[in-house]
Structure 1
Amino acid sequence: MAIRYLPMPTETAIVLWNGGTDAYGMRPERRISDGDGVPCRHCLEGVRAGDPYLILAYRPFPKLQPYAETGPIFLHAEPCPAYSGAASPPMLESRDYIVRGYDADDRIVYGSGAVTPTDEIPAYAETLLARPEIAYIHVRSARNNCYQCRIEAA
């Protein structure tokens, strides 16, 4: 099975780049990157040292419901191209991540979540997506649970 890594939707990023508010109705905070641990959720690359970025609350779900987690993410302050590809995104630099499946109703599929070594994410994602009850996957920080990206079958 082929998989693809998906960034935050470009439409969402455009709203934020144009002064829109985050999942909590607040304007994103603007900072300057030190180049260490600032992964943009749109291009799925790290924000380079000296470049501006936004910190904001993000909810990667279409509507509020009990499983619709909201948390902090980073976004380049200036428009960047959306990541597109089957290869592991450059921003996935940690040794491991939480990989967890969700159903078509955006609910966690219990038993699907696992702290997964980074190089094993593609194989685990393929295993999860082969299950009929799993519609998509989130990759999250294994240390802070921050949303990284989404994986779907290609």
Structure 2
Amino acid sequence: MSYTVTSLPAEPFAPLFQMDDEALAARGARRMIADAPLGFPCRVSLDDARPGETLILVNYEHQPAPTPFRASHAIFVREGVEPVSTVDEIPPALKRRLLSLRAFDASGMMRAADMAEGAAAGALIERLFEDPEIAYLHAHYAKWGCYAARIDRA
């Protein structure tokens, strides 16, 4: 079964890069500089920022469904990158990490969850989508628990 991995759009985050640190702090966000080749996974490009690149660390509501599973968490976003959508391919930042995959039905209720190394996550994605009640998946970085990307049937 084919699947699509989709990043967040860039537009909602663009104004954050024009704010000073005080305005960001008022929104609970922070400007950060990547200081390592891994550890700063952008949710728009679905790849890690390179050392020296500027990112915004901000809370993002990735599961807005009015259910007990409504959720938000911290994410990194980079300026000037394009959104990503892949078919049957795990994007670089996800491929490098242990993932928690959470399966939701159309009403936003979680029906299943499991973990896989990112490079091997395709088989788990396909298995979760065998259940016709699963409408979409959310990938999370398992160690930090933060949202990574949305996965849908292609």
TM-score interval (norm. to shorter): 0.7 to 0.9
CA RMSD of aligned residues (A): 2.0
- In 1, distance between residues paired with 2:117 and 2:50? 25
CA contact (8 A) 1:14 1:79 kept: no
Secondary structure in 2 aligned to 1:85?
strand
> Displacement, 1:130?
2.0
Q: 1:18 aligns with which of 12, 15, 18?
A: 15
Q: Percent identity of the aligned residues?
A: 28
Structure with bigger helix share is 2
- In 1, distance between residues paired with 2:120 and 2:38? 23
> Displacement, 1:126?
1.0
Structure with bigger strand share is 2
- 1:3-152 to structure 2, matched below 5 A, reads 3-8=3-8, 10=9, 13-19=10-16, 26=27, 28-34=29-35, 35-76=37-78, 78-86=79-87, 87-92=89-94, 93-94=96-97, 96-109=98-111, 112-152=112-152
**Superposition TM-score, scaled by structure 2 size:** 0.85
Structure 1 unaligned blocks of 5 or more: none
Count of aligned positions: 144
Tell which deviates more after alignment, 58-67 or 142-151. 58-67
Note closer, same or farther for the CA distance 1:63–1:115 as it changes in structure 2 (3 Å cut). Answer: closer
**Superposition TM-score, scaled by structure 1 size:** 0.85
